[in-house]
Amino acid sequence: MNDTLVILWATENKDTFNKLIYLYAKNSMRNDWWKNIKIIIWGPSQQLINDEEVKNKIVELKNVGVEIEVCKWCSDSYNVTEKFEGIDVNPIYMGEPLTKYLKEDVKVMTF
């Protein structure tokens, strides 16, 4: 059994991040609900890197072991690539990696 969860975060709704994605990912790592958690930041959600609270929570998630992946095409489009690089998240083109996750025995949650 693959014990990996991928969270595809596309909505720019801050409450969705704060009240669902952030809390679930953080508590999952703390309580060993999942061995691996990856959050893919894709589309409009990337604009929230401009919000200091959200940026700090992304760093906090990284610090508890959540892997953060960011779509480069989107980050370039929203002019936020450098902001992600500033927190040691290097955007990559995500079409192929996401397709791989979907074809493997990986659970994917979408927001």
pLDDT at 1 over 60: no
Strands (DSSP E) contained in 11-55 are 36-41
Quote the pLDDT of residue 105. Answer: 81
Sorted by where each starts, the structural domains of the chain and their CATH numbers stand as: 4-110 (3.40.1260.10)
Number of H helices, E strands in the chain: 6, 4
pTM of full prediction above 0.85: yes
Quote the pLDDT of residue 34. Answer: 96
Q: What is the pLDDT of residues 68-94, one digit of tens each?
A: 999 999 999 999 999 999 999 999 999
Quote the pLDDT of residue 11. Answer: 97
Q: What is the pLDDT of residues 27-53, one digit of tens each?
A: 999 999 999 999 999 999 999 999 999
Under a CB-based contact definition with an 8 Å cutoff, are residues 86 and 52 in contact? no
Dihedral sign for Cα atoms in the order 44, 47, 53, 54: positive
